[in-house]
Amino acid sequence: MRLTGVELRRIAMPLVAPFRTSFGTETTREVLLLRAVTDEAEGWGECVAMTDPLYSSEYVDAAADVLRRFLIPALGADLTGVSVAPALARFKGHRMAKAALEMAVLDAELRAAGRSFARELGAVHESVPCGVSVGIMDSIPELLEAVGGYLAEGYLRIKLKIEPGWDVAPVRAVRESFGDEMLLQVDANTAYTTADARHLAKLDPFDLLLIEQPLDEEDILGHAALARVVRTPICLDESITSARAAADAIRLNACEIVNIKPGRVGGYLEARRIHDVCVAHGVPVWCGGMLETGLGRAANVALAALPGFTLPGDTSGSARYYKTDITEPFVLEDDGHLTVPTGPGLGVTPLPDELSAVTLSTEWITV
């Protein structure tokens, strides 16, 4: 496949409601999209970096810069999806930018071949169970109203964002209000330290599926120590940057569950390798979300259809975050699942009018 060039497109997607985590509040999601143009087909990629370097060291402006100056020029004209990562390996870090470029090239290749993302990754399910991530609220009554609404929509699992001062009380309120049968987990986004171990153990009576990333992303040994204090399974997110990192964390007993975010690990092919490592060690995985548009959501749903994804992911419907998506919206089925796209490549494409309405800028880079 011969690459002609790549379009960088900046868009701004207003959220239906502010989304607050331990590291900040988002009201608009600024997204960098990539359109890879080849002699056979066009493919789309989505960079999940945030506007500011809060979730990780990556951010949108830096992703655009490294793509423009280094990553796209390094590809060469003739390539395939699997050749992208090796071509970019000499450049340190910037996994989210690399993932977006690999996604765009892989989408173009699969569209040309008439194969779906799901088939290419090894999906075994036609639909995937969906959970929803609930941000930090101003009050517990507001939280309970939000959770009740998501359960009424059919979501099968609730994830609560937590931070010091907003943890035990909201979890207790949600558990008492909605019962022991509801699948419930929490996400700290690195907000705690090992000194908080006894406090986090107070979450044990609420029968949570997991505590996600309670400590700093580099504190693998701290997570292993925490796992000896709390009964609730520890799940790693920010700490898992590659298949090697996942294998090390598992070997050190730092986690019992892994959240796989393709953008965080450098792409969907590396995400599949992490899945395979976890399956080999008997560690369940689930697919995290980064407030993706329909493009990234389509790829995530395809990934979540692999056999090792045994827990509901953050693969929410489009309406969870956006009043209008840039693709045909993903709509939650009555049984709390999303259907896996089966068309060529991602199985979805941007709708021209919707894409134009949210576009801030475009830039064409010739290879």
What CATH code is carried by the domain that includes residue 252? 3.20.20.120
pLDDT digits (tens, 9 = 90+) for 188-224: 999 999 999 999 999 999 999 999 999 999 999 999 9
- Do residues 156 and 108 share a domain? no
Cα separation, 201 vs 168, in Å, equals 10
Phi-psi region of 18 (alpha: psi -120 to 50; beta: other; left: phi over 0): beta
Do 184 and 251 share a domain, yes or no?
A: yes
Catalytic site residue from 92, 98, 161, 202: 161
Q: Catalytic annotation on 159?
A: no
- What stretches of 130-221 adopt beta strand conformation (E)? 131-134, 157-161, 183-187, 211-212
Radius of gyration of the chain (CA): 20
Residue 77 has pLDDT above 80, yes or no: no
Considering the domain architecture, whether residues 313 and 224 belong to the same structural domain is answered as: yes
As a whole number of angstroms, the distance between CA 209 and CA 232 comes to: 7
Question: How far apart are alpha carbons 113 and 344 in whole angstroms?
Answer: 8
pLDDT, mean of residues 129-144 = 96
- Residue 22 in this model has a pLDDT that exceeds 90: no
Q: Is residue 73 located within the same domain as residue 140?
A: no
pLDDT at 206: 98
Number of domains in the chain: 2
- Which CATH number belongs to the domain containing residue 57 in this structure? 3.30.390.10
- Do 31 and 135 belong together in one domain? no
Q: Are residues 154 and 101 in the same domain?
A: no
Tokens of 360: 């801030």
174 and 33 co-located in one domain? no
> What one-letter code names the amino acid at 307?
P
Q: How does pLDDT run across 215-245, given as a tens digit for each residue?
A: 999 999 999 999 999 999 999 999 999 999 9
Beta strands 285-287 and 257-260, pairing class: parallel
Alpha-carbon span 274 to 260, nearest angstrom: 8
pLDDT digits (tens, 9 = 90+) for 266-284: 999 999 999 999 999 999 9
Residues 156 and 271 in one domain: yes
Are residues 104 and 148 located together in one domain of the fold? no
Which tens digits make up the pLDDT trace of 293-344? 999 999 999 999 999 999 999 999 999 999 999 999 999 999 999 999 999 9
Q: Report d(CA 296, CA 48) in Å as an integer.
A: 8
Q: Are residues 78 and 222 in the same domain?
A: no
Q: What is the span of the domain harbouring residue 269?
A: 119-339
Report the mean per-residue pLDDT for the chain. 96
Annotated catalytic residue within 159, 202, 261, 323: 261
Q: Is 92 a catalytic residue?
A: no
Q: How far apart are CA 151 and CA 153, in angstroms?
A: 5
Let me know whether 129 and 67 are in one domain.
no
Average pLDDT, integer, range 172-179: 98
Same domain, 194 and 330: yes
Dig out the tokens for 214 from the structure: 């309670």
Find tokens 């002699």 and name the residue: 39
d(CA 172, CA 156): 19
Whole-number pLDDT of residue 24 = 83
